[in-house]
Structure 1
Amino acid sequence: MATTELILVPRPQRIDITGQGPTVDTPVQRLADPGLPDEGFDIEITDTTVTLRYADPAGARYGAALLEQIRQQSPAHWPRLTVSDWPDFPIRGYMLDISRGRVPTRDTLSRLLDLLDLVRINQFQLYTEHTFAYADHEEVWRDASPLSPDDVRWLDDRCADKGIELVANQNTFGHMEHWLKHPTYRHRAELPDGFELFGQHRSATTLEPTPENAEFALELVEELMPHFRSRRINIGCDETWELGRGASAEAVADHGRGPIYAEHLSRLLEPLLDKGYLVQFWGDIIAHHPELVPQLPTGATAVAWTYEAPREPVDWPEPVLARFREAGLDPATLTAGFEPTVSAFAAAGYPFWVAPGTSTWRSFIGRIDNAKANLVDAAEVGRRHGVEGYLITDWGDLGHMQPPSVSFPALTFGGAVSWSLDANRDLDLDEIVNRYVFEDATGRMGPVLDRLARVWSRSGLTTFNASPLFVSVTGARATVMGAPDVAGLSEIIADIDEALADIADAEPQCVDSRIVRDELIAAARLARHGALRLLADAGETVDRAELAADLAETVELHRAAWATRSRPGGIEVGLDLLDKLADEYR
């Protein structure tokens, strides 16, 4: 049997298949071997024996899972082989945004845990802004269907059963808009009346950097942490857009934006570090002030993120460049990959992780080509610098309208390359998705998701961190350039129609097969509607009544699919955008 005949995920670091081994009823000998790397294992199948050696409980679990994948593809005899396997990154995490609309049900969380277990993800973070039911803050979370303390403890138990560390993730500086919009908390805002960003007015998002606000945020963390086994916490602190534009304007004018940010970050870090917590923070703001990195409290970890695949710089028009600068983004590094993102921390010897993404947010149906290149780049840079952790992020900007199954392929690929980049960078993802994620014997599901997740780049428009099809539906047009291409859009619509037919003909046997079909159809229909709108923008005749009818039908599909995956609170974030679109057709 050739190596390529076995479909394995993750592929092991080393595997050598030399022929036919014993019958599959041959018992497996399991032996602890503390000399192996952490989480590592060796498998040896001879003519007569099957032996698994493992370093620790994780290695035993991963080795047994790989043996089961091999056994399922060996009807009568094991292949004669040797395997030696261990992870590139000690911590391989997945972070799911549950604060932009979509809060998953327990069934959805269970499905995600099975997938994380498959690809050897050993840390899970749920990004929260307002979606934990804090005891004295019901007005903030009342309509959001938040996770309760009991939900967190249930999830923590499920994670522990699979050897996954559940980690608290609560933003404590920026992205506090769900708090600051209420009169009770308005006085805590840096700029209570909001601000302009990417050409649109935004409500207040950033806390004024004061000791009182640090104490307020730390009280939230102290209420949250007892429900987790882990002592690790991600306190966010990213995208503090208004800092220096309101209450802290005088301090920033006197001392600089970077020092004021670093001072408040330290107010949050030091008390938690003193209590023995392992604290993470997003590294985007402080990375622009490399001179301040050595002054940060020791013991914390910066999480360096970037989500665009490395490519040649885009010649953005000046109005778009101005919007990037306004948002604190350096246009010169937007598509430069992870190396410039991590440089401030690497130069200072400050601990950091790398955080790529699934590229599914702001897309409906994903951007798998961007995701794979971004995930590989993160693994290359992280491995080069010897970092401990690799965190795959899955955001939900503008209503989290992409369903969970759209993220499954990118999450699967990210898990594989974070385990072993060299063995998995050319992974046959379609085959893996068919066999292990959706269990589709027809072989349709993997290719369908791949095709859908590649149409975004053929519209004639250039976008940043988004699909033009999503932009067309939601109106988030601040970072777009180019003109719609009629031929490309016509091909996109034809490809989506073909994909819809293939989804109907596929036969997934996974536990959520019906849900997967329904949510993929709804997501593909939303993307198709975006393509139709772009055709109209290009001057093609598209009947407004037909657009209105198509949107109304698609919205109902989206509603129904949402209800099977997610709690009811939060769906209105995306529906409000779709309702505005419907108003255009009236």
Structure 2
Amino acid sequence: MHLLPKPKSLQLAEGSYALPKIWQISLPNELDQRVSASLAQLGEHEVVAQNANLTLTLDSTIAHADGYRLQIAAAGVQIAAQTAAGLFYGLQTLRQIQQQSAAQLPYLVIDDTPDFAVRGFMLDISRDKVPTMATLYALIDELASWKINQIQLYIEHTFAYQNHPTVWADASPLTAEEVRTLDDFCLERFIELVPNQNCFGHMRRWLTKPEYRDLAECPDGCDTGDPDWGYFDEPFTLAPEHPGSIALVRSMLDELLPNFRTRTLNVGCDETVELGLGASAAAVAERGKGRVYLEFLQKLYHEAHSRGYIMQFWSDIILHYPELVGELPQDAEVLIWGYEADHPFEAQSATIAKAGLPFYVCPGTSSWNTVAGRTTNALENIANAAKHGLHYGAKGFLMTDWGDNGHWQPLVTSYLGLAIGAARAWNALAELDVVALLDTVVFADSNKVLGNLVYQLGDVYRAVPPLLHNTSSLFRILQANPEAIANLKLDREGLHNADEILLQLRNELPNTKPQRADGELCLVELAWAIDLLRHAVQRGLWVLDQQPSEQASNLQTEIDGLIERFQEVWLSRNRPGGLQDSLKHFATLRSSYGEVQYA
């Protein structure tokens, strides 16, 4: 049996209980209606006063507010929990057992509690995909079944601010009504929907508009002096000394926050790479970059606190100035993020814990900048975050799924990271059979093929050195010009090995039988991802062969077909806004073969 997340304690016993055709359920008095509503997931059922085969009980002796005890024995099934949320989570476990047990439920006792009080997921809906409501509903339902209890939708410009309509005009944004509907939907599943609006860096979509450009640190762009960031030809970061910057944030929050029930707000503030290079240069020279950053963060804290909100923010900048950590507001929640296997979660968690600040550890799915993921990196990054977050007393564990450079990766690519993140958010140190969890719980593949296929597809990046930070060589081949590709010093044997793996996986796709609702779409997405990565292989070999023109013609025809399929895949789960921006990332790829069609 493979359960997601894996329970803390599961003891099997001899014997089994026949799965009833109708669940006859005994409920405690005045039970939260959200639990009653979730009973439909078990199938046909009725609430009874006696002779129940499923009994739900509220029990104050259960150790954790989200914990539960589930027992299957000759007398039937019993679930006890301290709270309604615990009963809901117990029912999710029973549902998975039922799905895997045919006509007989094994006798067992499960005692289960989470390692992290907050078990979250953050989805980037700003670069460049804004999912349809149907996509979001399905994703939230699945995450709830894996005991996720917080969701954040990362916003730069994709909320329909009525006072700022030019910013989101072509983005197909979430409206206030849609956010309120999502908030209700999440609440019904014991999930907190937290507003996540970047308020300092990552403001390009605002600052490139004429009416906001004067609020930029560097209105005309600048050389960041950072080899990872290079030259910016457009503004990216708010000028913290400009009084209009905090006024803009105030206007944004006044519109955004009333649509959420929560009293938590993520203000972002990561990657303020231009700070001190433009409008704030004199202030930074006088007081230091860390101090100027902290002062604006404190202004944001005031805006959140004055509205009754707890402020969350990303940790990357403040951790460069450990001498200032002690000046952070003591109720601000620090989000420690990092996406490589060896990210220093241990040292960073120790720094924040020593200051007595509440914090989350925030690993990632490793899906972005790859097309098909980086399986090994994702698993090690997630385990690293969970281990050290648990050790240093992190309040929360927040999985992240970003959309850098066009958000090319299809959603199916993120399922592995999402599932393992949910598993470790609940049971941080558990031994996990990743392939079995994918086959059994995530994809429900009756042929037990798809789990390994997705795992191996996500590991193709390892066949093609060099192994790069936050991306893969195959993805870099797709988005770089031939000169930059040549500088990668690609290995011909590695490219051929990758192609052999990809071809084998492509041939295995017809042998899969996913039973999930979007199973057929998952296979369409995977076929496209494999084919695009095979194109990357051929493009890499083309560069190594000095770019012969006869191959360029074939590659051009192939990529045109892949771009057409990309648009179909995109629109199957996402709104049209942002698609044209994403297609621009194909321009270098397409233009190197011939006439530019996607500029």
TM-score of the aligned structures, taking structure 1 as reference length? 0.91
- Does residue 203 (structure 1) correspond to residue 234 (structure 2)? The answer is yes
Aligned with 1:30 (options 31, 56, 59): 56
Match of 2:200 in 1: 173
Match of 1:253 in 2: 285
Q: Structure 1 436/97 Cα, relative in aligned 2: closer, same or farther at 3 Å?
A: same
Match of 1:457 in 2: 462
Q: Structure 1 478/243 Cα, relative in aligned 2: closer, same or farther at 3 Å?
A: farther
* Residue 579 of structure 1: how far off its partner (Å): 2.5
Partners in 2 of 1:538 and 1:366 — Cα distance?
25
Match of 2:374 in 1: 367
Letter of the 2:378 partner, please give it.
Answer: A
Letter of the 1:527 partner, please give it.
Answer: L
- Does residue 422 (structure 1) correspond to residue 429 (structure 2)? The answer is yes
Is the contact between residue 464 and residue 479 of structure 1 (CA under 8 Å) also seen in structure 2? no
Letter of the 1:488 partner, please give it.
Answer: G
- Long gaps (5+) in structure 1: 1-5, 311-335
1:209-252, CA deviations, whole angstroms, 9 ceiling, x for partnerless residues? 03331121122012101111112110001100110000110110
Q: Report matched runs for 1:181-330 at 5 Å.
A: 181-196=208-223, 198-210=229-241, 211-310=243-342
Is the contact between residue 159 and residue 166 of structure 1 (CA under 8 Å) also seen in structure 2? yes
Partners in 1 of 2:109 and 2:531 — Cα distance?
47
Partners in 2 of 1:202 and 1:91 — Cα distance?
39
Partners in 1 of 2:101 and 2:283 — Cα distance?
68
* Alignment RMSD: 1.9
Is the contact between residue 286 and residue 292 of structure 1 (CA under 8 Å) also seen in structure 2? yes
Q: Structure 1 402/544 Cα, relative in aligned 2: closer, same or farther at 3 Å?
A: same
* Residue 464 of structure 1: how far off its partner (Å): 0.6
- Does residue 556 (structure 1) correspond to residue 564 (structure 2)? The answer is yes
* Residue 200 of structure 1: how far off its partner (Å): 4.3
Which deviates more, 486-495 or 469-478?
469-478
Match of 1:574 in 2: 582
- Alignment length (residue pairs): 554
* Residue 498 of structure 1: how far off its partner (Å): 2.0
Partners in 2 of 1:355 and 1:66 — Cα distance?
25
Letter of the 2:60 partner, please give it.
Answer: P
- Does residue 544 (structure 1) correspond to residue 564 (structure 2)? The answer is no
Q: Structure 1 479/498 Cα, relative in aligned 2: closer, same or farther at 3 Å?
A: closer
Aligned with 2:354 (options 347, 358, 361): 347
TM-score of the aligned structures, taking structure 2 as reference length? 0.89
Q: Structure 1 480/109 Cα, relative in aligned 2: closer, same or farther at 3 Å?
A: farther
Is the contact between residue 190 and residue 246 of structure 1 (CA under 8 Å) also seen in structure 2? yes
Partners in 1 of 2:347 and 2:55 — Cα distance?
48
Partners in 1 of 2:306 and 2:485 — Cα distance?
42
Match of 2:29 in 1: none
SS at match of 1:38: coil
Is the contact between residue 101 and residue 572 of structure 1 (CA under 8 Å) also seen in structure 2? no
Partners in 2 of 1:280 and 1:274 — Cα distance?
14
Aligned with 2:412 (options 392, 405, 411): 405
Q: Quote the sequence identity (%).
A: 39
Match of 2:526 in 1: 520
Which deviates more, 269-278 or 286-295?
269-278
Which deviates more, 482-491 or 239-248?
482-491
* Residue 106 of structure 1: how far off its partner (Å): 0.9
SS at match of 1:183: coil
* Residue 169 of structure 1: how far off its partner (Å): 0.3
- Does residue 499 (structure 1) correspond to residue 513 (structure 2)? The answer is no
Partners in 2 of 1:212 and 1:528 — Cα distance?
49
Partners in 2 of 1:481 and 1:405 — Cα distance?
31
SS at match of 2:167: helix
Aligned with 2:4 (options 4, 9, 33): 9
* Residue 32 of structure 1: how far off its partner (Å): 0.9
- Does residue 337 (structure 1) correspond to residue 334 (structure 2)? The answer is no
SS at match of 1:279: strand
- Long gaps (5+) in structure 2: 21-51, 595-599
SS at match of 1:271: helix
* Residue 76 of structure 1: how far off its partner (Å): 4.0
Q: Structure 1 566/493 Cα, relative in aligned 2: closer, same or farther at 3 Å?
A: same
Partners in 1 of 2:303 and 2:133 — Cα distance?
33
Partners in 2 of 1:92 and 1:488 — Cα distance?
38
Match of 1:139 in 2: 166
Match of 2:38 in 1: none
1:273-313, CA deviations, whole angstroms, 9 ceiling, x for partnerless residues? 13210110111101111111111223211101011002xxx
* Residue 540 of structure 1: how far off its partner (Å): 7.8
